[in-house]
């Protein structure tokens, strides 16, 4: 009679101890064919399932941790026509902040104050000059630069500075300036008007 009908089957598909013992007594006098291993018949399927699940769990634990998402890069907050004009140098900045010779801490504070003040005055596009670092690198090594930023560091950290929580919602868009406004050593910064600021 089938195990399913007698109620002796294991819910995981394993052979019960009673059925296993019965099979061993029945097959004790049977001579297996050459090359055949009868032990495979006695193994409980449930064990295979447990072993498979254990191997899967171990593999999941050994998988490397997922990498943190890449730092968000400020996307476009302006229309294509305005971006094109900026790229062609056809927009005149309404304010300019020159960071040459400033330390990183000084640059961060100046940028925050500059952006906040520019928005309050209703300005839409301003220019921030970070420099490329070439000027600082060319200066004499005898000059004391301990209180200065490393060459090019302000340019490298510009996006970090401009994403400060105090001004992040004000800044709509940034991009390298046209060569007539400083080229790769300067950035246009487009500002959100005060009446379009997100509600807290």
Q: CATH code at 102?
A: 3.30.1370.110
Instruction: Examine the domain organization and report whether 116 and 158 are in the same domain.
Output: yes
Instruction: Examine the domain organization and report whether 90 and 184 are in the same domain.
Output: yes
Q: What are phi and psi of 67, to 5 degrees?
A: -70, 145
Indicate the number of domains in the chain. 2
Q: Which domain holds residue 25?
A: 3-62
Return d(Cα 91, Cα 123) in angstroms, integer.
13
Residues with Cβ < 8 Å from 98, sequence gap 6 or more?
129
For residue 71, tell me if it sits in a domain: no
**Has residue 160 got a pLDDT over 90?**
yes
- Mean local confidence (pLDDT), 23-47: 60
- The residue from 33, 62, 91 where one domain ends is 62
For the stretch 52-94, pLDDT in tens is 777 777 666 655 454 443 333 355 588 899 999 999 999 999 9
Instruction: Examine the domain organization and report whether 101 and 178 are in the same domain.
Output: yes
The pTM of this model reads 0.56
Instruction: Examine the domain organization and report whether 135 and 93 are in the same domain.
Output: yes
SS3 8: coil
Maximum mean pLDDT: which of 21-25, 40-44, 138-142: 21-25
Instruction: Examine the domain organization and report whether 32 and 92 are in the same domain.
Output: no
* CB neighbours of residue 103 within 10 Å: 15
């Amino acid at each position: 009679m089938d195990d399913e009908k007698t109620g002796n089957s294991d819910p995981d598909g394993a052979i019960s101890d009673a059925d296993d013992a019965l099979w061993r007594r029945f097959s004790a006098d049977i001579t297996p064919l050459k090359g055949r291993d009868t032990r495979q018949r006695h193994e409980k399927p449930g064990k295979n399932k447990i072993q498979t699940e254990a191997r899967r769990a171990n593999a999941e634990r050994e998988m490397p941790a997922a990498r943190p998402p890449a730092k968000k890069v400020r996307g476009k907050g302006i229309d294509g026509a305005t971006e094109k004009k900026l790229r062609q140098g056809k927009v005149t900045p309404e304010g300019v902040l020159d960071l040459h010779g400033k330390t990183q801490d000084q640059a961060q504070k100046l940028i925050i104050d500059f952006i906040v003040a520019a928005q309050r005055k209703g300005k839409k596009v301003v220019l921030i000059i970070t420099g490329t670092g070439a000027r600082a690198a060319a200066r004499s090594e005898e000059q004391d630069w301990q209180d200065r930023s490393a060459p090019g560091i302000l340019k490298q950290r510009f996006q970090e500075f401009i994403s400060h929580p105090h001004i992040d919602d004000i800044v709509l868009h940034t991009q390298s300036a046209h060569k007539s406004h400083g080229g790769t050593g300067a950035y246009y910064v487009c500002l959100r008007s005060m009446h379009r600021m997100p509600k807290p």
